[in-house]
Amino acid sequence: MLIAIPDVLTAGQVQETRALIDGAEWIDGNATSGTQSALAKRNRQLPEESDAAKRAGSVILDALAATPLFVAAALPLKVFPPLFNRYEGGEAFGAHVDSAVRIRRGSDFRIRSDLSATLFLEEPDAYDGGELVIDDQFGEQRVKLPAGHMVLYPASSLHHVEPVTRGCRTAAFFWIQSMVRDDGARRTLFELDSGVQAAAAAMGQDDPAVIRLTGVYHNLLRRWAEC
């Protein structure tokens, strides 16, 4: 399932995040690349152990916890602390699939990467190129969102970032281990949850049909979730 999630960060939170990261020291993006990615990746990123990355990442993690659409779509069990990258001057990231397991450097924190996320931190008219291109079951999806908006997609997807030919594309990126490993099951739960919410808005939370559908949702989640 590929889903765009608007307004994860407010304009003020985008400014706060940019104030933390813009003046920090950026390094070669291949510092966190796997073997395949290193062949295709040309960008810069903040060292994951840097104070700026940790502080900015905390802003994003707090915002994610307060974003119901993210919680409903991802059913997150673990979230890898956000990393930050930049592309400019023709930099790009060729076609690749994200590593199945991500390990935080210098710690025992690790996750299975079920979902990948890109949170845009620059307005789309400030740079040319830089589209995130994702191959999914419906074909090629090209994503370039306003600052503060995020796209969530299966980490198993083949994807790439187009060259940035003007300006600078700045974003946060991270991975999620979901309580529900299977993408199809997550999609079913998300669609059911959306239907329950719509029914509740139309008929009321105490309507017998809404109560039954809510029970179906939780019983399916109970069957599929790994906690």
Write out the binding residues: 96, 98, 159, 169
Q: What are phi and psi of 28, to 5 degrees?
A: -60, 130
Which residues contribute to the annotated binding site for 2-oxoglutarate?
Answer: 169
DSSP 98-164: --SEEE-TTSS-EEE--EEEEEE-S-GGGSEE--EEEEETTEEEEE---TT-EEEEETTSEEEE--E
For the beta carbon of residue 97, count every other beta carbon within 10 angstroms.
17
How is residue 23 written in tokens?
């003046």
- Measure the CA–CA gap between 74 and 145, rounded to whole angstroms: 19
Which residues contribute to the annotated binding site for Fe cation?
Answer: 96, 98, 159
How close are the terminal C-alpha atoms of the chain, in Å? 21
Q: Which of 139, 124, 128 is nearest to 162 (CA)?
A: 128
- Measure the CA–CA gap between 43 and 26, rounded to whole angstroms: 10
3-state secondary structure of 16: helix
